[in-house]
Amino acid sequence: MKLAHLPVLHHEVIDGLQIKPDGRYIDGTYGRGGHARSILAQLGENGRLLVMDRDPEAIAAAQSALGTDARVTIIHDDYANMRDQVSELDLLEQIDGILLDLGVSSPQLDDARRGFSFQKNGPLDMRMNPGSGLSAAQWLARADEVEIARVLWEYGEERHSRRIARKIVEIRSSRVIDDTATLAKLISDMLPRPKNNKHPATKSFQAIRIHVNQELTQIQSLLESIFDMLRLGGRLLVISFHSLEDRLVKRFFKMQSSPPRIPRGLPLRDSEIQTNIRLHIVNKAIKAGAKEMAANPRARSAVLRIAERAA
C-alpha cells in the first residue's frame, strides 16, 4: 500500500504500536490517513481499526479511502468521546493501541477557508469541526478584554497578551475582525518582530485555536478514560506539537507510572504497599531526526510519547 505523504514520526509510531495482525487499534485523529493506512497494512482479516476525527473533511477522506474495508469503522466525533464510542462497539478493555496526532493537520493549515493560518487570508474560523461551537471571529467579538488576555497568555504564552487584548477590543468597536489577515496585521503592527523571525501573531493564533477547540480539555478527557479502553499491554501513543500539550501528557504518564509516596519510617512490609502503577513508560520523548526535519519543517516541534497499560 503506497503512501502519498508520510505523517510526522511515521516510522516511530508504527514501530511503537507493535501491531498484531489480529489486534484492535484506534487512530483518534485521522487527518488524511497516513498513520491509519500503515496500521491497516499490517492487520490481517481479523484485525480491526477504528478511525475518528471531528473534522468532517477528514471523515469524508476516510470514507473515500477506507469506507469499503470491512475491518475499518469510521466515526465522526471528538476523540474526547472515544470511550463512549468504544463502549457502543462493546470493545472496552479490548484495544491494543490508541494513537493521537495532536494539533492541526497539513490540509487544515493549507486551506485558507479554515482560518488556521495567516499565510493566506481567509475567514477567521479555526474550528476543527466547522459545524460545532463558536468560530474564532465569533469568540473575539464576544469575549471581554480580560478573557482574551488570559487565553493569549495561558495557551500561547504571549507576553504581550494584555496589549493585544486591549487592541482587539478597541478595533472591534469600529470594525469586525472576521478574517485572518485583519487579526494578523492588527498584532504585527503593534509588536516587534521576534528574534527568531516568527510572525508576531504566531502565539496568538495558536492560543485562540486551542481555546476555540478546547484542545487541552479534549486531551485530558481522553487520558482519563484510557484505562477503560486499553487491554493490559495495550499502548497509548501521543504526538504533541507544543509544550502545553506535551506537558499534560508527560505529567499524566508520570503520575500513572510512579509508586505512591510513603512517609519515611512507616512500619509497612513491601506486600502491604499499594503500588498503584497503571502505566509503563516505554521510552523517553521521541523527536524527529535531522532528515525528517529537513523534509518536513512541521516535524521540528513534534514530540512522541508512548506508554503501555500495566494494570
CB under 8 A, 24+ apart: contacts of 67-76: 69/40, 71/40, 71/43, 71/45, 71/47, 72/40, 72/48, 73/48, 73/49, 74/30, 75/50, 75/51, 76/52
> Which CATH code for domain 129-212?
1.10.150.170
Is pTM beyond 0.85? Reply is yes
Residue 270 has pLDDT above 70, yes or no: no
Measured CA to CA, the distance from residue 138 to residue 245 in angstroms comes to 25
Overall average pLDDT of the 79-96 stretch: 98
E strands, 164-283, in order = 230-240, 279-281
Q: Which pLDDT band holds residue 107 (cuts at 50, 70, 90)?
A: confident
Q: Which pLDDT band holds residue 1 (cuts at 50, 70, 90)?
A: very low
CATH 1.10.150.170: which residues of the chain?
Answer: 129-212
Write phi, then psi, for 285 (nearest 5 degrees): -55, 135
Overall average pLDDT of the 210-214 stretch: 96
Write phi, then psi, for 189 (nearest 5 degrees): -70, -25
- Domain 10-106+215-309 bears CATH identifier 3.40.50.150: yes
CATH 3.40.50.150: which residues of the chain?
Answer: 10-106+215-309
DSSP-based three-state secondary structure for 35: helix
